[in-house]
Amino acid sequence: MSASLSGFRTIGRAALIVVAALAAGCGAYTSYKQTRLTPRGHTDYLFAAELQGASTGMDGAPMPEIAVGARRRVHDRIDVGATGTILPLGEAITSASAEVSGKLALGRHGRWSAALGTGVGYRVTTSSGAVFEGVHAAVPVILGVDLGRHQLVLSPTVGYERLWSSGARPVSLPFAGYSLGFRWQLARRWALLPEATVGYTPARNYRTDSSQLFQVGLAVLFTR
Amino acid sequence: MRLLILVAALALGGCFYDNTSPLPADFGSCAAPEPEGVAPAAPTYWRDLKPIVDAHCAGCHIQGGVAPFPLTTYRELYEYRSKSAAMVETRAMPPWQPAACCGHYRGDRSLTADQVATFVAWYDAGALEGDPADATPSEPPVPEALPRVDVEVRMAQAFTPEPRVGKDELRCFLLPQTFATATYITGTNVIPSNHSIAHHAVLFAVPADKIAELKARDGADGRPGWDCYSSTDELDARGAVGGWQPGDGPQLLPDGVGVEVKAGSQLVLNMHYDTGAGTGSDQTTVQLMTSPSVARVSRGVAIMNPLWFAGDGMEIRADDPDATVFFAYDPTPLFSKGQPFTVERVMLHMHELGTIGRLAVLHPDGTSDCLLNITDWNFHWMTTYTLAAPVAIQPGDKLYLECHWDNTAGNQKTVDGNRQAPRTIGWGADEEMCAAVVSYSEAL
């Protein structure tokens, strides 16, 4: 052995990449949930800034991202949308994802309402010439309570993600979590949607037998 | 419909996913077949064998050395002649893992084809002693030493290894040596007092803010030091400054290169003891050559796929005769601000099930440089190799690591006399690992 082992200090940096790779985590999946459907004949545009990642309980690296999305009503009780996210930090790390999602309004009882979401997506992360990819599916149950024009949202989510990187075996990440969000109706066409999500996956990482996933974000919703 | 898309995506795998190794088929192979070795006629111990054995065996096969028996006299060699010839012919001894025709390393222990042929011919011809007068006159060997010893420090107490399982114990010790000011280590000499149990050692400089935590661990189980079998914690963020393995003498960094030690740091010695090889206690001494300033500072780059330690990303199934993983990436954006650097030393790490380990530099045009090619991995002879000629890495090149394991019944560890049954494993201290570290130096 010799001083070369000092390179192991860089395991920390490698761990950052894994966190980034895992960060395809729960956050991107059908984010900024609320039970209201896009008004008929209109489009909801979404612009968001978010931080998301995976954590070992001892350490974790939040990955900042920006997201854009659009939604349309396609049925009395269904709207569908597409969302893209990107983190462009050049060769060190670049990540992008795309997701299509649908939402089915389940019902309303006074101030209380419920919807069922579903989304499937793809993410690619490149770090210094290494490529990590993942596909995911998520099913959030969305529960809302109207507070005047605004809405408070609680949303338990289950999902599954599969990650690939050449030379490694595919990694399966079943996950479950919930998010707490708010639809703050600023004006007729404008709303702010803060949302925080925590999730859990039984997949181990280099330190612990399971991993936590997290996401916090703030979206601006514009209806046209 | 959406479900269908999902199923299709899962079935296809990633768009960029390719599980075939990018190494050329002739990786590490010799341009021309190695010429047959030539032995002198009627070789004798005094004339032909003694120079080989003194230079290539006696460093370990000496009274008090790491090997179980000495090979310092004709009688001793004669007693082990058949086994020795067999070990030499199969190149199991002297221990040297890198396959030929990949790279050249300092301290290469391997024998030339002529030396192997001489050894085998000597055995085949009856292992004759010959005439002492034929011996090439040689100085009695002097112990190698650092050109200058600036720091000398010893384990505070002798330690007697008592492994919990099996024969190996990995133990860490705080050495009574702190550095008041920032220092560069330019040479190390680790001297175990009991070579028969010392298997290898890694020396760390631990920053001031971590010392209290380690002091709390020290002696907590009633024995000197603390258990550090899964020492990635220690290896994390703290950095090794030197080490020792059987057969090592003093280690000097390339001229003008030093390993940085921050002010307030304290030395920690991570010892691997093998009680299968000997008994008793050990109290290792560490000598350092230091310098207040250097022209270049040594840095390390780790190679491993982060997905290996996520979920089943490095699953090695029970009974798989050749589980393989690999990883390639360009280290320059992350480690050298996009600048080229030259690899000076390489280290590859697997555990007991490893069979093949490869390290290379892949160039964008499809060609590659071989850094290390081990085709018959032996955990017990893991070490760091210093390249005789440093290899340059340009931005756009990739560092490549490949590991193979044999997880069949025949290749399992023996613990307390029982061969373990194959089990499906992944990344872990008592499972497997695949990691490499390459070192380079950077102008200060």
- From residue A127, give the alpha-carbon distance in Å to each of A83, A96, B170, B333: 23, 12, 34, 9
Choose the closest CB to B240 out of A5, A14, A173: A5
The whole-angstrom distance between A92's CA and the closest CA on chain B is 6
Nearest CA in chain B to A131: B16
| Residue A52 confidence (pLDDT) | 79
Greater model confidence, B409 or B279: B409
Using the beta-carbon criterion (under 8 Å), do A8 and B435 form an inter-chain contact?
Answer: yes
Nearest CA in chain A to B337: A92
Using the beta-carbon criterion (under 8 Å), do B327 and A21 form an inter-chain contact?
Answer: no
A1 falls in which pLDDT band (50, 70, 90)? very low
Cα–chain-centroid distance for residue B252? 16
| Residue A205 confidence (pLDDT) | 67
Contacts of B320 in chain A (CB under 8 A): none
The whole-angstrom distance between A149's CA and the closest CA on chain B is 33
Q: Where are the domains of chain B?
A: 1-22+295-444, 45-134, 145-294
Q: Where are the domains of chain A?
A: 2-223
Determine the Cα–Cα distance for residues A19 and A93; give it in Å rounded to an integer. 12
CATH 2.60.120.310 correct for B145-294: yes
Listed residue (B130, B175, B182) closest to B285, CA to CA: B175
The label of the residue with tokens 């595919």 reads A170
Evaluated on CA atoms B443, B341, B401, A127, the torsion sign reads positive
Per-residue tokens: B298? 């040594």
Using the beta-carbon criterion (under 8 Å), do B310 and A137 form an inter-chain contact?
Answer: no
The torsion angles phi and psi of B25, rounded to 5 degrees, stand at -60, -30
Which whole number is the average pLDDT over B51-77? 86
The whole-angstrom distance between B328's CA and the closest CA on chain A is 6
Greater model confidence, A156 or A203: A156
Q: What is the pLDDT of residues B71-100, one digit of tens each?
A: 989 999 999 999 999 999 999 999 899 998
- From residue A4, give the alpha-carbon distance in Å to each of B84, B89, B414: 32, 32, 30
Contacts of B315 in chain A (CB under 8 A): 169
Nearest CA in chain A to B312: A171
Contacts of B426 in chain A (CB under 8 A): 204
The label of the residue with tokens 């109290």 reads B283
Count of other CB atoms within 10 angstroms of residue B294 = 22
Q: Which of B108-117, B226-235, B264-273 has the lowest mean pLDDT?
A: B226-235
Which of B16, B296, B405 is the best residue to mutate to test the A interface, defined by the most A CB atoms within 10 Å of its own CB? B16
| Residue A59 confidence (pLDDT) | 52
Residue B334, helix vs strand vs coil: helix
Using the beta-carbon criterion (under 8 Å), do A14 and B240 form an inter-chain contact?
Answer: no
Fold entry, domain B1-22+295-444: Jelly Rolls (2.60.120)
- DSSP letter assigned to residue B93: S
Contacts of B10 in chain A (CB under 8 A): 135, 162
R_g of chain B computed on alpha carbons: 24
A22, A54 Cβ separation under 8 angstroms: yes
Share of chain B above pLDDT 70, in %: 90
Q: What angle do CA A87, B237, A125 make, to 5 degrees?
A: 20
The torsion angles phi and psi of A49, rounded to 5 degrees, stand at -120, 135
Contacts of B442 in chain A (CB under 8 A): none
The label of the residue with tokens 């149990």 reads B197
Cα–chain-centroid distance for residue B31? 27
Nearest CA in chain B to A203: B311
Choose the closest CB to B330 out of A6, A128, A171: A128
Using the beta-carbon criterion (under 8 Å), do A6 and B300 form an inter-chain contact?
Answer: yes
Nearest CA in chain B to A80: B2
The whole-angstrom distance between B152's CA and the closest CA on chain A is 18
Give me the amino acid identity at A210. S
Nearest CA in chain A to B328: A130
| Residue A4 confidence (pLDDT) | 28
Determine the Cα–Cα distance for residues B209 and B238; give it in Å rounded to an integer. 11
| Residue B120 confidence (pLDDT) | 97
| Residue B28 confidence (pLDDT) | 86
| Residue A99 confidence (pLDDT) | 92
Q: What is the pLDDT of residues B334-378, one digit of tens each?
A: 888 889 999 988 888 888 899 999 999 999 999 999 999 999 998
Using the beta-carbon criterion (under 8 Å), do A13 and B302 form an inter-chain contact?
Answer: yes
Determine the Cα–Cα distance for residues B307 and A131; give it in Å rounded to an integer. 11
Q: Which of A2-16, B116-130, B246-260, B376-390 has the lowest mean pLDDT?
A: A2-16
| Residue A13 confidence (pLDDT) | 44
Domain A2-223: assigned CATH number? 2.40.128
Model ipTM value: 0.85
Determine the Cα–Cα distance for residues A200 and A22; give it in Å rounded to an integer. 12
R_g of chain A computed on alpha carbons: 18
The whole-angstrom distance between A47's CA and the closest CA on chain B is 25
Cα-Cα-Cα-Cα torsion B359, B360, B362, B366, nearest 10 degrees, comes to: -110
The whole-angstrom distance between B321's CA and the closest CA on chain A is 16
Contacts of A12 in chain B (CB under 8 A): 236-237
Greater model confidence, A60 or B434: B434
Fold agreement (B1-22+295-444, B145-294) = yes
Which of B437, B439, B440, B442 is the best residue to mutate to test the A interface, defined by the most A CB atoms within 10 Å of its own CB? B437
B263, B223 Cβ separation under 8 angstroms: no
Determine the Cα–Cα distance for residues B304 and A68; give it in Å rounded to an integer. 33
Share of chain A above pLDDT 90, in %: 55
| Residue B64 confidence (pLDDT) | 67
Contacts of B16 in chain A (CB under 8 A): 124, 131, 133, 164, 166
Q: Which of A27-36, A184-193, B193-202 has the lowest mean pLDDT?
A: A27-36
| Residue B335 confidence (pLDDT) | 82
Omega within 30 of 0 (cis) for the link into B94: yes
B408 falls in which pLDDT band (50, 70, 90)? very high
Per-residue tokens: B148? 């200058």
B275, B230 Cβ separation under 8 angstroms: no
Q: What is the pLDDT of residues A40-58, one digit of tens each?
A: 999 999 999 998 776 655 4
Contacts of B384 in chain A (CB under 8 A): 1-5
| Residue A207 confidence (pLDDT) | 58
Per-residue tokens: B67? 């090997």
| Residue B279 confidence (pLDDT) | 87
Evaluated on CA atoms B304, B309, B312, B316, the torsion sign reads positive
pTM: 0.85
The whole-angstrom distance between A131's CA and the closest CA on chain B is 7
- DSSP letter assigned to residue B361: E
